[in-house]
Amino acid sequence: MNCCVECFHDEEIRTMIEKANKGTGDCDFCGQKNVLIYPVNESTELSDLISDVINVYEEAADGKPLFSVMIQDWGIFKDLASTRDLIAAFCSIINEDDEDMCDKKVRLPQKDMEQYGVLSGHTWQEFSDEIKYTNRFISKLFKHDRFTQFLTFCIKTYDKGTKFYRARVCNNQTGYGTKDMFSPPIELRKPGRVNPEGMGVLYLTSDEETALHEVRASKFDLVTIGEFELKKRISVVDISRFSNISPAIYTGGMGSLAVNRKIFSDIAKEIAKPLRRNDSSLEYLPTQFITEFIRSQPYEGVAYNSAMGTGGINLAVFNENLFQCEKVYNVEIEDINYQYDKK
């Protein structure tokens, strides 16, 4: 039986299938025609990888079915109607004597969470409460060495000359100049999800639309948009990549990767949350702790997905002198489309 490249979401595994060059044909699982195929009914590099992932789990009555864990927690497979059958096929190769392996309920061992977890086996919420109410500057839960080993798998580089954007809602009819588009003066630097109060961080976006959404411009607002250009090549930590590290490339041990995926997903969601007017500054402390640690490493900033629905990227740069504001221009917001859920 053959699966195909289109059965998988993980980019590294897709590349593995492409490089294996097993030929093209029809997929026995998702039904794709004339696509790159890969054998499932024999031991392969891919089945060994799937086996390594499965073996980090232990059976538990209060766990989740193995096939569900593989789909929801790892992002290896696309969530298709045929995916359970594909996982079952891999399980039959991994363990021929256990036909029900795919449906068994499993969980991560608590000892592994404590031994390998960047938060010592605690949840993001427990860490957040510690930072906000108990140990603000030196966490007893956060393991620096464990966290550091993941950073190299989340590096994103930007070349000299790359363009970024920043928007400011104008309080006058003339707009702002290029010098006004950088970080505000020290006394006006309010806390954010990346910067503590008083600390300078230049918040930029990958495109103009995202910049406008990030400042929450209202209808008829006059907004100045600054176009920034990078002066030299830089490396930043892409927070959104933490929870998407492929098991095909991670070298720190499958157990270590498994127990931290949920934590990394929570960090990525938290740092991307838009700031709200009624937020307490306490809410920003946990992500500030993480980004301040990254600042202490040899990286120039952090990137993360915008939560404003544009598909854009936010970039928070620790040293604004790495950029020059090339030009500014004013736009007037003509319309806004509100979408909402009743609570």
Residue 181 and residue 286 in one domain: yes
- Looking at residue 197, its pLDDT comes to 87
- Of the three residues 90, 107, 124, the one that is the final residue of a domain is 107
- Beta-carbon neighbour count of residue 87 at 10 Å? 25
Least confident among 9-23, 183-197, 251-265: 183-197
> What's the alpha-carbon Rg for the chain, to the nearest Å?
23
Residue 58 and residue 191 in one domain: no
Residue 52 and residue 166 in one domain: no
Residue 173 and residue 271 in one domain: yes
As a whole number, mean pLDDT of residues 55-61 equals 95
Contact (CB, 8 A) for 10 and 2: no
Q: Which of 50, 23, 51, 46 is nearest to 36 (CA)?
A: 23
Residue 158 and residue 100 in one domain: no
As a whole number, mean pLDDT of residues 51-67 equals 95
- Of the three residues 70, 88, 107, the one that is the final residue of a domain is 107
State yes or no: pLDDT of 204 exceeds 70. Answer: yes
Per cent of the chain over pLDDT 70 is: 97
As a whole number, mean pLDDT of residues 30-49 equals 94
Q: In this structure, is residue 343 part of a structural domain?
A: no
Give the model's confidence band at 5: pLDDT under 50 very low, under 70 low, under 90 confident, else very high: very high
Q: In this structure, is residue 114 part of a structural domain?
A: no
Q: Which residue has the higher pLDDT, 271 or 188?
A: 271
Residue 97 and residue 241 in one domain: no
- Looking at residue 220, its pLDDT comes to 86
State yes or no: pLDDT of 176 exceeds 80. Answer: yes
- Looking at residue 98, its pLDDT comes to 65
Sign of CA dihedral 45, 47, 16, 253: negative
Q: In this structure, is residue 168 part of a structural domain?
A: yes
- Beta-carbon neighbour count of residue 24 at 10 Å? 12
pTM of the predicted structure, to 2 decimals: 0.89
Q: Which residue has the higher pLDDT, 26 or 277?
A: 26
Q: In this structure, is residue 133 part of a structural domain?
A: no
Per cent of the chain over pLDDT 90 is: 76
Residue 189 and residue 278 in one domain: yes
Q: In this structure, is residue 31 part of a structural domain?
A: yes
Residue 161 and residue 86 in one domain: no
Residue 56 and residue 159 in one domain: no
For the stretch 263-301, pLDDT in tens is 999 999 999 887 776 778 899 999 999 999 999 999 999
Residue 170 and residue 305 in one domain: yes
The pairing of strands 202-205 and 313-317 is antiparallel
- Looking at residue 185, its pLDDT comes to 85
Q: In this structure, is residue 7 part of a structural domain?
A: yes
Q: In this structure, is residue 130 part of a structural domain?
A: no
- Looking at residue 338, its pLDDT comes to 56
State yes or no: pLDDT of 221 exceeds 60. Answer: yes
The span from the CA of 94 to the CA of 97, in Å, is 9
Residue 216 and residue 303 in one domain: yes
Rounded to the nearest integer, the mean pLDDT of the chain is 92
State yes or no: pLDDT of 97 exceeds 70. Answer: no
For the stretch 125-143, pLDDT in tens is 999 999 999 998 899 999 9
How many structural domains does the chain have? 2
State yes or no: pLDDT of 31 exceeds 60. Answer: yes
For the stretch 307-338, pLDDT in tens is 887 789 999 999 999 999 999 999 998 887 75
Q: Residue 116 has what DSSP assignment? A: H
Residue 171 and residue 248 in one domain: yes
Report DSSP letters for 203-266, one per residue.
EEESSHHHHHHHTTPPTT-EEEEEEEEESS-EEEEEGGGGGG--TTT--S-HHHHHHHHHHHHH
At 327, which helix (H) or strand (E)? Answer: strand 323-332
- Looking at residue 334, its pLDDT comes to 84
- Of the three residues 80, 107, 134, the one that is the final residue of a domain is 107
Q: Which two tokens stand for residue 278?
A: 């009624």
Domain ranges, residue 210: 152-332
Q: In this structure, is residue 177 part of a structural domain?
A: yes
